[in-house]
Chains A and B, each alone.
Chain A
């Protein structure tokens, strides 16, 4: 007997009570980004204020709603009024806002950022709607729809918002029809490569051998990407529901979640969610009264980048070193413990509940031909409005960087997608549609969602060196093209960055990069050269400047940069002398100071004080001068 309607009705009642709460409801963004910005202290201050002032209110910690640069975010909803968002609150500010609002009905419009209701409420007069603000206006929130709205630790919140309705739908279909639906929707894997999800599933479903497994890939080894972590922290049940749907479709009875062991909050939320699912009959024998049985186990990963690769991930799940093996056989045929296994990305799974519930045609209204649906990105770097975003595929990079992100701090230089496996796309690619094929043609990849914007202060050579050092360190060492090749690429890039290279070295680097790309065993080595190849292509002049003139135009390559003090501007305040860790600066008070370059470690401390201290004269200059070899 399917008891889903009863479960859902009960949850909806509970949700309706929250929505119609007779007391104010206070929401605080308490995902990793919010907590890092101080949401914990804000929560504490809120609770204290409520106790002291003897005001009754409900406090709901929620997930990341997107604009991380505004964290900590505190939202307050008075009964019968729209929810109002306050940005960059600290404990003192939270206290002030609450006292004014809860005791005097004053919404502090000067401190408010936006509201969530319909326009026209007197309380929110003059405030924009949250989803009309520039960062949100161009987004389509499908996978992230619950993040920031529901309590991620309360399954009833999820159930009341159509949660597990997709699973319920799937359980009423045949597995073949579920695969057919995913095929019709054109869903492609969000882990990076964009492989059609249905095709993998079908191969696995047809493969001989039981039991079959499905694994959720939350390895997220890209350094500078947090979208998978944020989704689990903000809406863990969506990913778990997706895991069940995938398991049902391929005929698996057990699912694993491979997750970085440093994701403490996400792991805790998953554990809570799994316990709640079990209590609701959504896991175990006979899910929702059907004959589908399913169990879920968390597998903590050691945080190696290569463990995002399917075969390495499986090795690590089996308790071995995370080394990839050559394919075929593909995991869909022989994976975990030699059994047919499907590995799907967190976001791929997070999409499934919505897709099942609303149908393929609905899903295809988002995105463009061949690239349907939405994609989440962690938009960070030198962008003015960094955060977690979700956009329809086919959107232009320019819209993401400028309309959503608000542009770069200084002059825009490039955007890196796909992390260490991706490429660096210059200004001329800004009108490129964000689609799997288009990105690949430009030499980059869609990737799993890292998007880093850099401005003129970043040097292309330094960025390539940064990524190559990363992949070199993360190379598992199994195949020599990757192990040795990346090592030599790092050496060549270091020579360039230090002004030791010759122009001929560029050809060597190019050659080596192409070899590593072609000859490596797994995706790590095959994509590791991408940052080098794309920067060589789009920023060749910079490479040549490093080689020919020992010049780094961005003044980012330390060895090519010198610090000096402009005597005309130095007012002799001695602040730089105080902060210099190596005592490299000398000068009497009120007289121009000098830097002893033999002692200078180029740590930027003097530049910082001279630039930002009010008494200082902004006289420290660091620059790279051209010199002929």
Chain B
């Protein structure tokens, strides 16, 4: 029942096995986005190697695959940090001060949204609505949602997950 792990969890543990992953697909162009989603879930990001593999599987050009993947902001092309931090930037969270959380986190981690820390410990993303707007503002660290988060709780939340 648990949602599949976020990118950070499985990254770099097993050797990439694309054939295994492609087995659930028929090899049609219309499956491209689903395949990209699976690849990102498995490897944490879309690498050049992934694009090459998908290109062979679907018989589409690498450019075409990269073009589609880069259209959607959810796909990333660099290796994510180990702890995924997602600050909700949905409307409910915005009016409850989500912007303060994201600004302060950026300051504390020394990076801006979309980056990961140099030591690859933290990965910092913004997302649009995590579906629990009644608990706004929310921050998600790996799978755990922190509800009604205050700026002054951020440090502790980050340390908790070390």
By a beta-carbon cutoff of 8 Å, the part of chain A in contact with chain B is 32-33, 35-37, 68-69, 71, 221-226, 229-230, 261-265, 268, 299-304, 316-323, 378, 380-382, 386-387, 416, 419, 450, 452, 454, 457-458, 463, 466-467, 470, 473, 476, 579, 581-582, 601, 603-605, 608-609, 612
- Considering only CB atoms, which chain A residue lies closest to B60 in the complex? A319
| Sample of 16 more A-B contacts, CB < 8 Å, known A33-B135, A386-B92, A581-B108 | A35-B145, A224-B128, A224-B133, A225-B133, A229-B131, A265-B3, A299-B33, A321-B71, A380-B91, A416-B91, A458-B95, A581-B104, A601-B104, A603-B103, A604-B104, A608-B152
A416 to B92 Cα, complex, angstroms: 11
Nearest chain A CB to B83 CB, angstrom units: 18
> 8 Å CB contacts to A: which residues of B51-104?
58, 60, 67-68, 71-75, 89-97, 100, 103-104
CB-based contact B134/A223 at 8 Å: no
CB-based contact B91/A579 at 8 Å: no
Nearest chain A CB to B64 CB, angstrom units: 8
CB-based contact A604/B151 at 8 Å: yes
A415 to B119 Cα, complex, angstroms: 43
Cβ contact of A68, chosen from B75, B127, B130, B132, cutoff 8 A: B132
A301 to B67 Cα, complex, angstroms: 15
A320 to B72 Cα, complex, angstroms: 11
Cβ contact of B135, chosen from A37, A323, A450, A467, cutoff 8 A: A37
Provided the pairs A318-B30, A320-B68 are in contact, do residues A36 and B145 lie with their beta carbons within 8 angstroms?
yes
Contact digits for B10-44, partner A, Cβ 8 Å, 1 yes 0 no: 00000000000000000011111110110000000
B3 CB contacts on chain A under 8 angstroms: 264-265, 268
A317 CB contacts on chain B under 8 angstroms: 30
CB-based contact B138/A36 at 8 Å: yes
- Among A262, A304, A378, A467, which residue has the most Cβ atoms of chain B within 10 A? A262
CB-based contact A321/B68 at 8 Å: yes
| Count of chain A to chain B residue pairs whose CB atoms are closer than 8 Å in the complex | 164
- Among B73, B131, B152, which residue has the most Cβ atoms of chain A within 10 A? B131
CB-based contact B72/A303 at 8 Å: yes
- Considering only CB atoms, which chain A residue lies closest to B75 in the complex? A302
B136 at the interface (CB under 8 A from A): yes
Q: How extensive is the interface on chain B, given as a class? A: 35 or more
A416 to B133 Cα, complex, angstroms: 15
- Considering only CB atoms, which chain B residue lies closest to A457 in the complex? B95
Selected A-B contacts with CB under 8 Å, 5 pairs: A223-B90, A301-B33, A302-B37, A452-B91, A457-B95
CB-based contact A264/B133 at 8 Å: no
The 3 A-B residue pairs with the shortest CB-CB distance, nearest first, are A302-B72, A264-B3, A224-B91
Provided the pairs A68-B132, A319-B30 are in contact, do residues A223 and B104 lie with their beta carbons within 8 angstroms?
no
- Considering only CB atoms, which chain A residue lies closest to B35 in the complex? A319
Secondary structure at chain A's binding surface: helix, strand, loop or mixed? mixed
CB-based contact B37/A603 at 8 Å: no
CB-based contact A605/B95 at 8 Å: no
- Considering only CB atoms, which chain B residue lies closest to A263 in the complex? B131
> 8 Å CB contacts to A: which residues of B104-126?
104, 107-108
- Considering only CB atoms, which chain B residue lies closest to A40 in the complex? B2
B134 CB contacts on chain A under 8 angstroms: 33, 68-69, 71, 380, 386-387
B97 CB contacts on chain A under 8 angstroms: 604
B73 CB contacts on chain A under 8 angstroms: 302-304, 473
Nearest chain B CB to A183 CB, angstrom units: 32
- Considering only CB atoms, which chain A residue lies closest to B128 in the complex? A223
- Considering only CB atoms, which chain A residue lies closest to B29 in the complex? A319
Cβ contact of A262, chosen from B71, B74, B145, cutoff 8 A: B74
- Considering only CB atoms, which chain B residue lies closest to A420 in the complex? B91
Nearest chain B CB to A263 CB, angstrom units: 8
A319 to B91 Cα, complex, angstroms: 29
- Considering only CB atoms, which chain B residue lies closest to A320 in the complex? B68
A268 CB contacts on chain B under 8 angstroms: 1, 3
CB-based contact A36/B152 at 8 Å: no
A603 to B74 Cα, complex, angstroms: 27
- Among B1, B72, B91, B92, which residue has the most Cβ atoms of chain A within 10 A? B91
A321 to B71 Cα, complex, angstroms: 6
B33 CB contacts on chain A under 8 angstroms: 261, 299-302, 316, 319
CB-based contact A386/B104 at 8 Å: no
- Considering only CB atoms, which chain B residue lies closest to A304 in the complex? B72
Cβ contact of A33, chosen from B91, B93, B132, cutoff 8 A: B132
A476 CB contacts on chain B under 8 angstroms: 71
CB-based contact B135/A382 at 8 Å: no
Provided the pairs A33-B135, A380-B136 are in contact, do residues A224 and B147 lie with their beta carbons within 8 angstroms?
no
Cβ contact of B147, chosen from A37, A225, A264, A323, cutoff 8 A: A37
Nearest chain A CB to B90 CB, angstrom units: 4
B90 CB contacts on chain A under 8 angstroms: 223-224
Provided the pairs A321-B71, A386-B133, A452-B95 are in contact, do residues A609 and B128 lie with their beta carbons within 8 angstroms?
no
Nearest chain A CB to B129 CB, angstrom units: 5
A463 CB contacts on chain B under 8 angstroms: 95
A382 to B93 Cα, complex, angstroms: 10
A304 to B68 Cα, complex, angstroms: 12
CB-based contact A223/B129 at 8 Å: yes
Cβ contact of A581, chosen from B30, B37, B107, B145, cutoff 8 A: B107
